[in-house]
Amino acid sequence: MIILYIISFLLIFCVLLYAFLITTYTIGWLKIKYQENKSSEKHSVSVLIPARNEAKNIERILQAINHQEYPKEQLEIIVADDHSEDETASLVSLFIQKHPDFNLKLHSVQGKGKKSALSEMVQMSNNVIIITTDSDCVPQNNQWIRSIVSCFAENTQLVSAPVVYFQKKGVFQNMQSLEFLTLISSAAGAIGIHAPFMCNGANIAFRKTAFLETHGFENDTFASGDDVFLLERILQRYGAESVRFAKSRQAIIETDSMPTLSKFFQQRIRWAGKSVGYKNPVSIFTSYIVFFNAFSIILSSILGFYHPIFWIMAVIFLIVKMIVDVPICWMILKFFNRISLFKIYVPLQIVYPFYICGTAILSLFIQPKWKGRSLKKH
Instruction: Please report the pLDDT score of residue 39 as a whole number.
Output: 57
Residue spans of the domains in the chain: they are: 2-27+280-369, 34-271
Domain 34-271 has CATH 3.40.50.300: no
Q: Tell me the pLDDT tens digit for each residue of 154-176.
A: 899 999 999 999 999 899 999 99
**What is the spatial distance between Cα 227 and Cα 202, in angstroms, rounded to a whole number?**
9
Helix (H) or strand (E) holding 177: helix 171-192
pLDDT at 224: 56
* CA–CA distance, 192 with 81 (Å, rounded to integer): 35
d(CA 40, CA 18): 39
Q: What is the pLDDT of residue 17?
A: 96
| Per-residue confidence (pLDDT) for residue 226, from 0 to 100 | 72
In order of 70, 120, 161, 183, 233, the CA distances from 228 in angstroms are 28, 19, 13, 13, 9
Q: What is the pLDDT of residue 37?
A: 63
Q: What is the pLDDT of residues 259-297, one digit of tens each?
A: 888 888 888 887 777 777 778 889 889 999 999 999 999
Question: Burial code of 173-208, b = ≥16 C-beta within 10 A, e = fewer?
Answer: bbbbbbbbbbebbbbbbbbbbebbbbbbbbbbbbbb
Given a contact cutoff of 8 angstroms between Cβ atoms, the answer to whether 348 and 176 are in contact is no
Order across the sheet with 243-245: list the strands.
104-108, 75-81, 45-51, 129-132, 204-207, 158-160, 243-245
Contact, 92 vs 66, CB < 8 A?
A: no
Q: Over its length of 378 residues, how does the chain's per-residue pLDDT go in tens digits?
A: 688 778 888 999 999 999 999 999 999 999 999 877 665 567 899 999 999 999 999 999 999 999 999 998 999 999 999 988 889 999 999 999 999 999 999 999 998 888 889 999 999 999 999 999 999 999 999 999 999 999 999 899 999 999 999 999 899 999 999 999 999 999 999 999 999 999 999 999 999 999 999 988 776 655 556 788 899 999 999 999 999 999 999 999 999 999 888 888 888 887 777 777 778 889 889 999 999 999 999 999 999 988 889 999 999 999 999 999 999 999 999 999 999 999 999 999 999 999 999 888 887 777 666 665 555 555
CA distances from 214 to 157, 222, 230 (A): 11, 17, 8
For 132, phi and psi rounded to 5 degrees?
Answer: -115, 140
pLDDT of residue 361: 85
For 207, the enclosing helix (H) or strand (E) is strand 204-207
CA distances from 259 to 26, 74, 181, 265 (A): 30, 37, 17, 11
Q: Give the whole-angstrom CA distance, residue 90 versus residue 106.
A: 10
pLDDT recorded at residue 222? 59
